[in-house]
Amino acid sequence: MKKVFFLFLVLACSVVLGQSPSKRQTDPLVAALGDSFVSETAKVNGTTLHYTRGGTGPAVILIHGFPQDWYEFHKVMPHLAKNFSVIAVDLRGVGGSAATAGGYDTANLAKDIHDLVAHLKLKQVYIAGHDIGGMVTYAYVRLYPQETRGVTILDAPLPGIEPWNEIKSRHRDWHFAFHQTPNLPEKLIAGRQFLYFREGFFNRFMLDRKSVSDADVTHYASAYAAPEQLRAGLEFYRAFPVDEKFGEAQQSAIDVPIVL
């Protein structure tokens, strides 16, 4: 357990098993991770999820934030794969995962992961989530504690749990309200994903701007390039009112090891 959480903390600082067809050589980003890594998809919970996996050992699921996809974890995945089966997921609608008309609240996104765990025939997993992925991780451990060995939540306020109200009203987090505005964000961001992600997120929030290269941002922009992909990313925020009610309803202690 200590080794797992140490590796997750390394992830925070630097910030198996499927049955579906695999592809590795056709995706240079996956091939660069090492020979054990493959790209796969699975039909779960009314959508198709894409994930990249590799390594052997206890399963670790990595859930990205906005505006990233599975590639957010590419620097730590080869290190984790030395001791774990690493599964980095694209959330519903992002990158290689299929978009749907709805279902972007964290409880349903957690069910996507739950069904993927069942698809991969895994009994218990570790989960690390960043940003939106951290919110999904929290929902997962609340809904499925029996299949959770431990969780790490990175840089993620939790809807409905204080200091949520303070955080969502802060000037620096203006994008929370902007992304929830109907239709307008899509029109303003479309075709400008690289600029918006580079200046609006990475340059604004990162201490070391060079840690995320322009090539990285270009990849992330491509993960939200299609209209349905961009809308999916914004729908994560539009589901916050539902997520708040979910968070407010959680009163019991979490009987699973957790790092915040």
Q: What SS3 string covers the chain?
A: CHHHHHHHHHHHHCCCCCCCCCECCCCHHHHCCCCCCEEEEEEECCEEEEEEEECCCCEEEEECCCCCCHHHHCCCHHHHCCCCEEEEECCCCCCCCCCCCCCCCHHHHHHHHHHHHHHCCCCCEEEEEECHHHHHHHHHHHHCHHHEEEEEEECCCCCCCCCHHHHHCCHHHCHHHHHHCCCHHHHHHCCCHHHHHHHHHHHHHCCCHHHCCHHHHHHHHHHCCCHHHHHHHHHHHHCHHHHHHHHHCCCCCCCCCEEC
Give the chain's residues under pLDDT 50: 2, 4-11, 13-21, 24
Q: What is the CATH number of the domain that holds 165?
A: 3.40.50.1820
Question: Which residues form the domain of 55?
Answer: 2-259
154 within 8 A of 127, measured Cβ to Cβ: no
Structure tokens at 123: 């009994």
- pLDDT given for residue 2 in this prediction: 45
Tally the domains of the chain: 1
pLDDT of residue 248: 98
The model carries a pTM of: 0.91
What is residue 201's predicted lDDT score, i.e. its pLDDT? 97
Angstrom CA distances, 89 to 6, 93, 188, 191, 227, stand at: 21, 11, 27, 25, 20
Please give the Cα distance from 112 to 91 (Å, whole number): 8
For residue 220, give the amino acid letter.
Y
Burial 200-239 (b: 16+ CB within 10 A, else e): bbbeeeeeeeeebeeebbebbbebbeeeebbbbbbbbbbb
Task: Convert the pLDDT of each residue in 216-250 to its tens digit.
Answer: 999 999 999 999 999 999 999 999 999 999 999 99
